[in-house]
Amino acid sequence: MVPNPFRVKVSAGSQERIILKSSHEIERMRRAGKITAEARALAGSLVRPGVTTQFIDREVNKFIRSQGAVPSFYRYNGFPASVCISVNEEVIHGIPGKRLLKEGDIVSVDVGALIDGYHGDCCATFPCGQISPEAQNLIDVTRQSFFEGIAKAREGNRLFDISAAVQQYVESHGYSIVREYVGHGVGSHLHEPPEVPNYVPDNRKGGNPRLMRGMTIAVEPMVNAGAKEVAVLDNNWTVVTRDGKWAAHYENTILITDGEPEILTVPVI
């Protein structure tokens, strides 16, 4: 398997310095988050049969730039598009192209926007036309697992409190959590410490920091309908399920406060 250069990978115990954001930085992140969430909503509105993934990428790119921002993902470590669009068994990092979406597909759209030196990062999985009840349940469980996780995103808790809540909810519904790819800190860099796994790693040494006010993190469950194992396609980017069963992805950038966490990429649909 060729290493995928886009997503932070789990390396238990390798947490570097976590950057706490000032009030000024948080305001910039709110602005970036708003643009990013609106871009995700736009992408979702474009998911329909007969549309190409390339068209969605182009329209999202135009929107982000119209807001004075730039797409965070464009040319990030060589990624060739502005948006990651992953269909059906594709888990993450799908490259937009001439593929036509068809009735019944599920489409994960991962978006980032950079403005005033700060990033927003979010994702959702959208139905293409009428989808099966099984596919809708996968989308719903994945989305809800994010909210189960951030219920634990309180100052003084530990990072893996979020991870455990996501894992328990997903596995209680008979699905599996991707292990190789994780959430991450977000700020002036798209990927910052800490790593935010969606499960509790066996080796917790040094990798379970206490949550502190001013932390900004992307919590992003990646959930497979079948087994947890994944592979990377020959394009060196797109991650797929090994068993060919479908996957869903949901993500928001959040801020740890002295109370409830704040979603910086507030869902607008």
Q: What is the DSSP string of 114-162?
A: EETTEEEEEEEEEE-SS--HHHHHHHHHHHHHHHHHHTT--TTSBHHHH
Instruction: Tell whether 16 is covered by a domain.
Output: no
Identify which has the larger pLDDT, 38 or 16.
38
Instruction: Tell whether 4 is covered by a domain.
Output: no
Which of these ranges, 21-35, 61-75, 200-214, has the smallest mean pLDDT? 200-214
Q: What does pTM read for this prediction?
A: 0.94
For residues 264 and 259, give the distance between their C-alpha atoms in angstroms, rounded to a whole number: 15
Give the per-residue pLDDT at 202: 85
Instruction: Tell whether 204 is covered by a domain.
Output: yes
Instruction: Tell whether 2 is covered by a domain.
Output: no
What CATH number is attached to the domain comprising 258? 3.90.230.10
Give the per-residue pLDDT at 64: 98
Give the per-residue pLDDT at 7: 53
Give the per-residue pLDDT at 204: 62
Q: pLDDT by residue (tens digit) across 111-167?
A: 999 999 999 999 999 999 999 999 999 999 999 999 999 999 999 999 999 999 999
Identify which has the larger pLDDT, 13 or 209.
209
Could you tell me the pLDDT band of residue 12, with boundaries at 50, 70 and 90? very low
Instruction: Tell whether 15 is covered by a domain.
Output: no
Average pLDDT over residues 202-222: 89
Task: Compute CA distances 239 → 89, 232, 233, whole Å.
Answer: 9, 4, 6
Share of the chain above pLDDT 70, in %: 93
| Domain span at 48 | 23-263
Q: Are the C-beta atoms of residues 56 and 83 closer than 8 Å to each other? A: yes
Closest C-alpha among 265, 226, 151, 189 to residue 8: 189
Which of these ranges, 44-58, 198-212, 220-234, has the smallest mean pLDDT? 198-212
Q: Is a pLDDT exceeding 60 seen at residue 3?
A: no
Q: For 132-163, b where at least 16 C-beta lie within 10 A, e where not — what string?
A: eeebebbbebbbbbbbbbbebbbeeeebbbbb
Q: How many domains does the chain have?
A: 1
Instruction: Tell whether 14 is covered by a domain.
Output: no
Instruction: Tell whether 97 is covered by a domain.
Output: yes
Identify which has the larger pLDDT, 15 or 190.
190
Q: Are the C-beta atoms of residues 198 and 182 closer than 8 Å to each other? A: yes
Instruction: Tell whether 130 is covered by a domain.
Output: yes
Give the per-residue pLDDT at 51: 98
Give the per-residue pLDDT at 203: 72
Q: pLDDT by residue (tens digit) across 102-122?
A: 999 999 999 999 999 999 999
Averaged confidence pLDDT in the chain: 94
Q: pLDDT by residue (tens digit) across 64-76?
A: 999 999 999 999 9
Residue 75 tokens read as 């040319």
